[in-house]
Amino acid sequence: MGDIKKGSLDVTQGAQLSQKNIQSGFFKRLLSGVETPKEQLNQSESSLPDEGISKLKTLRVEDVAIPRADIVSVSSELDSDALIKEFRDSGYSRLPVFEDTLDNPIGMVHLKDLALKYIFDNKSEAFNFVELVRPVLFVPPSMPLDVLLQKMQTERTHMALVVDEYGGVDGLATIEDLVEQLVGNISDEHDTDDDATWFEVKPDVYICQSRASLEEFEKVLGVDLASDTDDEEIDTMGGLVFMMTGRVPVRGEVISHPSGYDFEVIEADPRRIKKLRVSQKLQKK
């Protein structure tokens, strides 16, 4: 795995994806949706999301990657029934595969490969997990998104594991995470409110994932939840509540914020906060 990591890390030395490259080929078709007539070509090119392209050049992998604690992965020792259950429960079509622990990943497994070989095929062939494993990219958290996008296109791999300097897994990024920086959030028929980082259940009451962006959620509420000093240290809503309490609060605990909002912990474990209910306090008459 060391050679794979080295090859992926070396790409940061020279690979750069120009705006011209992004605006052509697959991504031009993605953004336009349909073939553009010649008379509309200039208008179509001018409407490409320059802000999204700029994000690809300025953001790093660590800015969009799923944190380690939220990665759904599978052991290479699972049998077919257990693997099918993991796909069913997670709702994902690709899952990282590891041996022993997540810090020893060997690749990923695709639901399509499992279905074609062992579900749709009526042959009574013995299940062999290793045959299903595809390679993944190993990238540093500091890699620019445009470099990762070019690497994914070149190697035709849609999943990358973010590794630290010691080779441990810090997070996961998919090509969907990168495309969303270009065109905004992508929802499909499998997405639910539970998949969103937050949603409003009624006026001034929100269910919020702990990983929700503090900056973005402040815009939704229209209030400043963190001081300028804290803004530099806190990225998520869970981080804000942890900073306020100095510990991991227990389920059912309510933390009041000076802005007039209450943060109720509705899901947590001993190591981290998972989900919050954010509601505005009732004003006393």
Residue 112 lies in a domain: yes
Statement to judge: residues 59 and 73 lie in one domain: no
Q: Which residues are within 8 A (CB) of 247 and not within 5 positions of it... i.e. 6 or more apart?
A: none
Q: Which pLDDT does position 277 carry in this prediction?
A: 93
Statement to judge: residues 24 and 148 lie in one domain: yes
Q: Which pLDDT does position 167 carry in this prediction?
A: 87
Statement to judge: residues 60 and 148 lie in one domain: yes
Q: 97 has which bridge partners?
A: 74, 107
Q: Could you tell me the maximum CA-CA distance found in the chain, to the nearest angstrom?
A: 73
Query: What number of other Cβ atoms are within 10 A of residue 73's Cβ?
Result: 19
Statement to judge: residues 109 and 97 lie in one domain: yes
Instruction: Give the total number of structural domains in the chain.
Output: 3
Residue 111 lies in a domain: yes
Written as tens digits, the pLDDT of the chain (285 aa) is 444 444 444 444 444 444 444 444 544 544 444 344 444 434 434 444 566 677 778 888 988 888 888 899 999 999 999 999 999 988 889 999 999 999 999 999 999 999 988 877 655 678 899 899 999 999 999 999 999 999 999 999 999 999 998 889 999 999 888 887 777 665 554 555 455 788 888 888 999 988 888 888 999 999 989 875 465 678 889 889 988 998 889 989 999 999 999 999 998 877 788 889 999 886 554
Statement to judge: residues 201 and 236 lie in one domain: yes
The string of DSSP letters for 13-65 reads: GT----HHHHTSHHHHHHHH-SPPPGGGHHHHHHTS-HHHHHHHHH-BHHHHP
User: Looking at 157, 183, 209, which one is the last position of a domain?
Assistant: 183
Q: Measured in whole angstroms, how far is the alpha carbon of residue 250 from the centre of its chain?
A: 26
Residue 160 lies in a domain: yes
Statement to judge: residues 106 and 155 lie in one domain: no
Residue 150 lies in a domain: yes
DSSP code for 189: T
Q: What sign does the CA torsion over 6, 12, 13, 19 have?
A: positive
Q: Which residue range is the domain that position 265 belongs to?
A: 195-280
Q: Which pLDDT does position 205 carry in this prediction?
A: 92
Residue 270 lies in a domain: yes
Q: Which pLDDT does position 47 carry in this prediction?
A: 45
Statement to judge: residues 49 and 153 lie in one domain: yes
Residue 188 lies in a domain: no
Q: Which pLDDT does position 178 carry in this prediction?
A: 85
Statement to judge: residues 49 and 87 lie in one domain: no
Statement to judge: residues 58 and 155 lie in one domain: yes
Statement to judge: residues 261 and 130 lie in one domain: no
**Cα separation of 230 and 218, whole Å?**
13
Residue 126 lies in a domain: yes
User: Looking at 163, 183, 203, which one is the last position of a domain?
Assistant: 183
Q: Which pLDDT does position 22 carry in this prediction?
A: 45
Give the domain CATH number at 133. 3.10.580.10
**Cα separation of 278 and 200, whole Å?**
9
Statement to judge: residues 148 and 60 lie in one domain: yes
**Cα separation of 205 and 215, whole Å?**
18
Residue 285 lies in a domain: no
User: Looking at 158, 183, 208, which one is the last position of a domain?
Assistant: 183
Statement to judge: residues 201 and 257 lie in one domain: yes
Contact 133, 114 (CB under 8 A): no
